[in-house]
Amino acid sequence: MNEEASAIPTPPWRKARRAAPVKRQLSQELIVETGLRVLDAEGLDALSMRRIAQELDTGPASLYAHVAGKDELLELIYDRVMGEVRLPERDPANWRRQVREYARETHRVLAAHSDIAKVALASIPTGPNMLRLAEFVFGLLIEAGFSPRDASLGMDRLSLYVSSDAYEGSLHYARMRDSGMELKEYFRHFVGQIDGFYRALPPDRFPHLAANVDALIADGGEARFEYGLDLVIAGLETRPRDPA
Protein backbone atom coordinates (compact mmCIF):
# COMPACT_ATOMS: atom_id res chain seq x y z
CA MET A 1 0.00 0.00 0.00
CA ASN A 2 1.21 3.50 -0.83
CA GLU A 3 2.33 5.13 2.43
CA GLU A 4 1.51 8.69 1.25
CA ALA A 5 -2.02 7.70 0.25
CA SER A 6 -2.62 6.10 3.63
CA ALA A 7 -1.13 8.87 5.81
CA ILE A 8 -2.54 8.91 9.30
CA PRO A 9 -4.72 11.99 9.97
CA THR A 10 -4.05 14.33 12.87
CA PRO A 11 -6.26 13.49 15.85
CA PRO A 12 -8.89 16.23 16.43
CA TRP A 13 -7.70 16.79 20.01
CA ARG A 14 -4.27 17.88 18.79
CA LYS A 15 -3.54 21.34 17.44
CA ALA A 16 -2.33 21.33 13.87
CA ARG A 17 1.16 22.66 13.51
CA ARG A 18 1.54 25.87 11.57
CA ALA A 19 4.30 26.12 9.07
CA ALA A 20 6.97 28.54 10.25
CA PRO A 21 6.97 31.76 8.20
CA VAL A 22 9.84 31.99 5.78
CA LYS A 23 12.15 34.84 6.78
CA ARG A 24 13.38 37.13 4.04
CA GLN A 25 17.12 37.15 3.61
CA LEU A 26 18.65 40.09 5.44
CA SER A 27 19.87 42.81 3.08
CA GLN A 28 20.44 46.55 3.04
CA GLU A 29 17.26 47.00 1.00
CA LEU A 30 15.19 45.09 3.57
CA ILE A 31 16.71 47.08 6.45
CA VAL A 32 15.94 50.39 4.72
CA GLU A 33 12.41 49.24 3.85
CA THR A 34 11.80 48.24 7.48
CA GLY A 35 13.30 51.47 8.80
CA LEU A 36 11.04 53.55 6.58
CA ARG A 37 8.01 51.59 7.76
CA VAL A 38 8.93 52.24 11.41
CA LEU A 39 9.56 55.92 10.70
CA ASP A 40 6.21 56.37 8.93
CA ALA A 41 4.30 54.66 11.72
CA GLU A 42 6.11 55.95 14.80
CA GLY A 43 8.31 58.89 13.81
CA LEU A 44 12.03 59.52 13.67
CA ASP A 45 12.60 59.28 17.43
CA ALA A 46 11.40 55.66 17.43
CA LEU A 47 13.91 54.63 14.78
CA SER A 48 16.96 52.74 16.02
CA MET A 49 19.06 49.78 14.97
CA ARG A 50 17.64 47.81 17.88
CA ARG A 51 14.07 48.65 16.86
CA ILE A 52 14.67 47.49 13.29
CA ALA A 53 16.35 44.31 14.53
CA GLN A 54 13.21 43.55 16.56
CA GLU A 55 11.05 44.04 13.48
CA LEU A 56 13.26 41.66 11.50
CA ASP A 57 13.50 39.12 14.34
CA THR A 58 17.28 39.30 14.48
CA GLY A 59 20.02 40.84 16.61
CA PRO A 60 21.27 44.42 16.12
CA ALA A 61 24.78 43.13 15.36
CA SER A 62 23.56 41.36 12.23
CA LEU A 63 22.43 44.69 10.75
CA TYR A 64 25.94 46.13 10.79
CA ALA A 65 27.03 43.78 8.04
CA HIS A 66 24.75 45.81 5.73
CA VAL A 67 24.56 49.28 7.32
CA ALA A 68 27.40 51.06 9.14
CA GLY A 69 25.08 52.56 11.76
CA LYS A 70 22.06 54.76 12.34
CA ASP A 71 23.53 57.77 10.53
CA GLU A 72 24.05 55.80 7.34
CA LEU A 73 20.63 54.21 7.74
CA LEU A 74 18.98 57.64 7.92
CA GLU A 75 20.82 58.74 4.77
CA LEU A 76 19.67 55.60 2.97
CA ILE A 77 16.07 56.03 4.10
CA TYR A 78 16.08 59.68 3.09
CA ASP A 79 17.50 58.84 -0.33
CA ARG A 80 14.85 56.14 -0.72
CA VAL A 81 12.13 58.72 0.03
CA MET A 82 13.63 61.20 -2.44
CA GLY A 83 13.22 58.56 -5.11
CA GLU A 84 9.49 59.30 -4.97
CA VAL A 85 9.96 62.86 -6.25
CA ARG A 86 8.74 63.13 -9.85
CA LEU A 87 10.76 65.35 -12.17
CA PRO A 88 9.87 66.75 -15.59
CA GLU A 89 12.28 67.36 -18.44
CA ARG A 90 14.32 70.47 -17.67
CA ASP A 91 12.94 73.56 -19.39
CA PRO A 92 15.23 76.53 -18.61
CA ALA A 93 12.95 78.93 -20.49
CA ASN A 94 10.36 78.22 -17.79
CA TRP A 95 12.72 77.97 -14.82
CA ARG A 96 10.39 79.92 -12.49
CA ARG A 97 7.52 77.51 -13.04
CA GLN A 98 9.78 74.47 -12.76
CA VAL A 99 11.42 75.70 -9.55
CA ARG A 100 7.95 76.13 -8.06
CA GLU A 101 6.76 72.71 -9.25
CA TYR A 102 9.92 71.04 -7.95
CA ALA A 103 9.50 72.69 -4.54
CA ARG A 104 5.84 71.65 -4.30
CA GLU A 105 6.59 68.06 -5.34
CA THR A 106 9.50 67.70 -2.91
CA HIS A 107 7.40 69.17 -0.10
CA ARG A 108 4.60 66.70 -0.91
CA VAL A 109 6.94 63.72 -0.66
CA LEU A 110 8.58 64.92 2.57
CA ALA A 111 5.19 65.60 4.18
CA ALA A 112 4.05 62.06 3.32
CA HIS A 113 6.78 60.47 5.46
CA SER A 114 6.42 61.60 9.06
CA ASP A 115 9.38 63.76 10.14
CA ILE A 116 11.92 62.54 7.56
CA ALA A 117 12.36 66.22 6.65
CA LYS A 118 14.48 66.57 9.80
CA VAL A 119 17.09 64.36 8.13
CA ALA A 120 16.98 66.60 5.06
CA LEU A 121 18.07 69.61 7.10
CA ALA A 122 21.58 68.22 7.53
CA SER A 123 21.99 66.18 4.34
CA ILE A 124 24.46 66.73 1.53
CA PRO A 125 23.43 65.08 -1.76
CA THR A 126 25.36 61.81 -1.97
CA GLY A 127 22.79 59.10 -2.72
CA PRO A 128 21.64 58.48 -6.29
CA ASN A 129 18.18 59.95 -5.76
CA MET A 130 19.42 63.04 -3.94
CA LEU A 131 22.01 63.58 -6.69
CA ARG A 132 19.26 63.23 -9.30
CA LEU A 133 17.32 66.08 -7.68
CA ALA A 134 20.41 68.24 -7.17
CA GLU A 135 21.41 67.79 -10.81
CA PHE A 136 17.91 68.78 -11.92
CA VAL A 137 17.71 72.03 -9.93
CA PHE A 138 21.35 73.04 -10.34
CA GLY A 139 21.27 72.24 -14.06
CA LEU A 140 17.98 74.08 -14.50
CA LEU A 141 19.40 77.28 -13.01
CA ILE A 142 22.70 76.97 -14.89
CA GLU A 143 20.87 76.49 -18.19
CA ALA A 144 18.61 79.44 -17.35
CA GLY A 145 21.71 81.65 -17.27
CA PHE A 146 22.59 81.83 -13.57
CA SER A 147 26.22 81.74 -12.54
CA PRO A 148 27.38 78.50 -10.86
CA ARG A 149 27.61 80.38 -7.53
CA ASP A 150 24.06 81.76 -7.75
CA ALA A 151 22.75 78.38 -8.94
CA SER A 152 24.48 76.66 -6.02
CA LEU A 153 23.28 79.08 -3.36
CA GLY A 154 19.81 79.25 -4.90
CA MET A 155 19.51 75.46 -4.84
CA ASP A 156 20.78 75.34 -1.26
CA ARG A 157 18.39 78.00 0.07
CA LEU A 158 15.43 76.51 -1.81
CA SER A 159 16.13 73.05 -0.37
CA LEU A 160 16.47 74.46 3.13
CA TYR A 161 13.19 76.34 2.83
CA VAL A 162 11.25 73.32 1.56
CA SER A 163 12.72 70.95 4.15
CA SER A 164 12.22 73.27 7.12
CA ASP A 165 8.62 74.00 6.15
CA ALA A 166 7.91 70.28 5.80
CA TYR A 167 9.58 69.58 9.15
CA GLU A 168 7.48 72.26 10.87
CA GLY A 169 4.40 70.56 9.48
CA SER A 170 5.56 67.18 10.83
CA LEU A 171 5.85 68.67 14.33
CA HIS A 172 2.22 69.73 14.16
CA TYR A 173 1.15 66.28 12.99
CA ALA A 174 3.02 64.69 15.90
CA ARG A 175 1.25 67.00 18.35
CA MET A 176 -2.05 66.23 16.65
CA ARG A 177 -1.52 62.49 17.15
CA ASP A 178 -0.63 63.04 20.81
CA SER A 179 -3.73 65.18 21.33
CA GLY A 180 -6.08 62.59 19.83
CA MET A 181 -7.73 65.31 17.72
CA GLU A 182 -8.60 65.18 14.06
CA LEU A 183 -6.63 67.45 11.74
CA LYS A 184 -9.19 70.24 11.39
CA GLU A 185 -10.00 70.16 15.10
CA TYR A 186 -6.31 70.36 16.03
CA PHE A 187 -5.57 73.39 13.85
CA ARG A 188 -8.78 75.11 14.92
CA HIS A 189 -7.70 74.63 18.53
CA PHE A 190 -4.09 75.68 17.79
CA VAL A 191 -5.06 78.86 15.92
CA GLY A 192 -7.70 79.62 18.54
CA GLN A 193 -5.06 79.61 21.26
CA ILE A 194 -2.86 81.98 19.26
CA ASP A 195 -5.83 84.25 18.60
CA GLY A 196 -6.74 84.43 22.28
CA PHE A 197 -3.16 85.04 23.40
CA TYR A 198 -2.44 87.90 20.99
CA ARG A 199 -5.76 89.60 21.63
CA ALA A 200 -4.90 89.61 25.34
CA LEU A 201 -1.59 91.43 24.79
CA PRO A 202 -1.44 94.93 26.34
CA PRO A 203 -1.78 97.30 23.35
CA ASP A 204 0.33 99.96 24.98
CA ARG A 205 3.36 97.62 24.87
CA PHE A 206 2.60 95.69 21.66
CA PRO A 207 0.44 98.05 19.58
CA HIS A 208 1.09 96.44 16.17
CA LEU A 209 0.65 92.86 17.29
CA ALA A 210 -2.51 93.60 19.26
CA ALA A 211 -4.06 95.62 16.42
CA ASN A 212 -3.41 93.08 13.65
CA VAL A 213 -4.33 89.70 15.06
CA ASP A 214 -6.58 88.85 12.11
CA ALA A 215 -3.69 89.33 9.66
CA LEU A 216 -1.33 87.30 11.82
CA ILE A 217 -3.55 84.20 11.74
CA ALA A 218 -5.31 84.66 8.41
CA ASP A 219 -3.25 82.34 6.20
CA GLY A 220 -2.94 78.59 6.50
CA GLY A 221 0.08 76.39 5.86
CA GLU A 222 -0.34 76.13 2.08
CA ALA A 223 -0.69 79.89 1.60
CA ARG A 224 2.37 80.51 3.77
CA PHE A 225 4.39 77.96 1.83
CA GLU A 226 3.46 79.56 -1.49
CA TYR A 227 4.29 83.01 -0.12
CA GLY A 228 7.75 81.81 0.88
CA LEU A 229 8.27 80.30 -2.58
CA ASP A 230 7.35 83.66 -4.11
CA LEU A 231 10.09 85.28 -2.02
CA VAL A 232 12.71 82.69 -3.02
CA ILE A 233 11.88 82.97 -6.72
CA ALA A 234 11.71 86.76 -6.55
CA GLY A 235 15.13 86.75 -4.91
CA LEU A 236 16.56 84.59 -7.69
CA GLU A 237 15.13 86.97 -10.29
CA THR A 238 17.27 89.79 -8.90
CA ARG A 239 20.48 87.89 -9.68
CA PRO A 240 22.28 88.62 -12.98
CA ARG A 241 21.75 86.05 -15.70
CA ASP A 242 23.22 85.24 -19.08
CA PRO A 243 20.51 83.29 -20.92
CA ALA A 244 22.83 82.82 -23.88
Which overall architecture, per CATH, does domain 82-237 show?
Orthogonal Bundle (1.10)
pLDDT at residue 130, as a whole number: 95
Domain ranges of the chain: 28-67, 82-237
Which overall architecture, per CATH, does domain 28-67 show?
Orthogonal Bundle (1.10)
155-163, Cβ contacts within 8 angstroms, sequence gap of 24 or more: 157/232, 157/235, 158/99, 158/103, 158/232, 159/106, 159/120, 160/121, 161/103, 161/228, 161/229, 161/232, 162/103, 162/106, 162/107, 162/110, 163/110, 163/117, 163/120, 163/121
Q: Band of the pLDDT at 200, cuts 50, 70, 90? A: very high
Q: Band of the pLDDT at 243, cuts 50, 70, 90? A: confident
Q: Name the pTM for this structure.
A: 0.84
pLDDT tens digits along 136-177 = 999 999 999 999 999 999 999 999 999 999 999 888 888 887
pLDDT at residue 124, as a whole number: 84
pLDDT tens digits along 7-50 = 777 777 766 666 555 567 899 999 999 999 999 998 888 999 99
pLDDT at residue 114, as a whole number: 86
